[in-house]
């Protein structure tokens, strides 16, 4: 292979990898996923109910979405299985849409995780026929805020290990949380090497029928 062809191949691989990040609607970074601790003594029952999306990383599946909410309903307390109902207002069609999925404690997902990863705050979420995506609750007080993080690793021989991440801050009220509390959460995420510059605010005001 000539140097020119090799360079073109590297460029092609780089473009493909970038496309993977965009298609997944996540932030693409070099290296493995950061080692991030999750909520200790997580109580799924207290977590159920409606949450309002305050901020999020860019996600292609949430493009043009305002007034986003997530509703969690317990389906199976033994298996830790939950119905996920994500709803949003499309700024393009001016109509509400929703997506129904299933969340489950990762220990119930067999080969999807290792025994070392078993933790009730680590869930996998599935929509339709998609493979489970990680849903880790990093911090929540159950009554006002929750911070959710997802990360997936891809190992490419030429470019090495890459990871794609997405993070959300959800709140129990559409009015969000105080600026001081938000700053506290941002500092926590930065301590975990999560790049908070990728956050954008979700509109929660002037939502029809609310």
Q: What is the CATH number of the domain that holds 37?
A: 2.40.128.20
Q: Mean of the per-residue pLDDT values for the chain? A: 81
| 87 φ, ψ (degrees, to nearest 5) | -125, 145
Q: Residue 106 belongs to what domain range? A: 3-201
Task: With respect to residue 188, please indicate whether it lies within any of the assigned structural domains.
Answer: yes
Task: With respect to residue 121, please indicate whether it lies within any of the assigned structural domains.
Answer: yes
Task: With respect to residue 35, please indicate whether it lies within any of the assigned structural domains.
Answer: yes
Instruction: Note the pLDDT tens digit of each residue in 19-66.
Output: 333 344 466 667 788 899 999 999 999 999 999 999 999 766 566 789
* The dihedral sign for the CA sequence 19, 21, 25, 29: negative
Task: With respect to residue 28, please indicate whether it lies within any of the assigned structural domains.
Answer: yes
| C-beta of residue 147 within 8 angstroms of C-beta of residue 189 | yes
Domains in the chain: how many in total?
Answer: 1
pLDDT confidence band for 161 (50 / 70 / 90)? confident
Task: With respect to residue 210, please indicate whether it lies within any of the assigned structural domains.
Answer: no
Give the pLDDT of residue 14.
35
Q: Is 164's pLDDT higher than 80?
A: yes
The CA dihedral of 13, 16, 21, 22, to the nearest 10 degrees, is 150
Task: With respect to residue 207, please indicate whether it lies within any of the assigned structural domains.
Answer: no
pTM summary value: 0.81
Task: With respect to residue 53, please indicate whether it lies within any of the assigned structural domains.
Answer: yes
CA-CA distance, 81 to 193, in Å (whole number)?
A: 30
CA-CA distance, 131 to 185, in Å (whole number)?
A: 29
């Amino acid at each position: 292979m000539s140097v020119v062809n090799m360079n073109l191949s590297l460029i092609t691989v780089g473009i493909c990898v970038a496309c993977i990040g965009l298609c997944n609607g996540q932030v693409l970074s070099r290296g493995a996923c950061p080692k991030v601790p999750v909520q200790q003594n997580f109580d799924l029952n207290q977590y159920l109910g409606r949450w309002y999306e305050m901020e999020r990383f860019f996600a292609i599946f949430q493009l043009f979405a305002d007034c986003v909410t997530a509703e969690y309903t317990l389906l199976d307390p033994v298996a830790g299985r939950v119905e996920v109902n994500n709803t949003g207002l499309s700024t393009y069609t001016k109509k509400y849409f929703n997506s129904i999925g299933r969340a489950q404690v990762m220990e119930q997902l067999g080969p999807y995780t290792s025994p070392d990863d078993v933790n009730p705050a680590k869930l996998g979420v599935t929509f339709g026929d998609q493979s489970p995506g990680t849903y880790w609750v990093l911090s929540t007080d159950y009554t006002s805020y929750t911070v959710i993080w997802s990360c997936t690793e891809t190992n490419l021989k030429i470019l090495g290990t890459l990871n794609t991440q997405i993070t959300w801050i959800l709140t129990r009220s559409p009015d969000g949380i105080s600026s001081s509390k938000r700053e506290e959460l941002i500092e926590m995420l930065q301590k975990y090497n999560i790049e908070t510059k990728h956050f954008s605010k979700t509109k929660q005001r002037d939502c029809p029928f609310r």
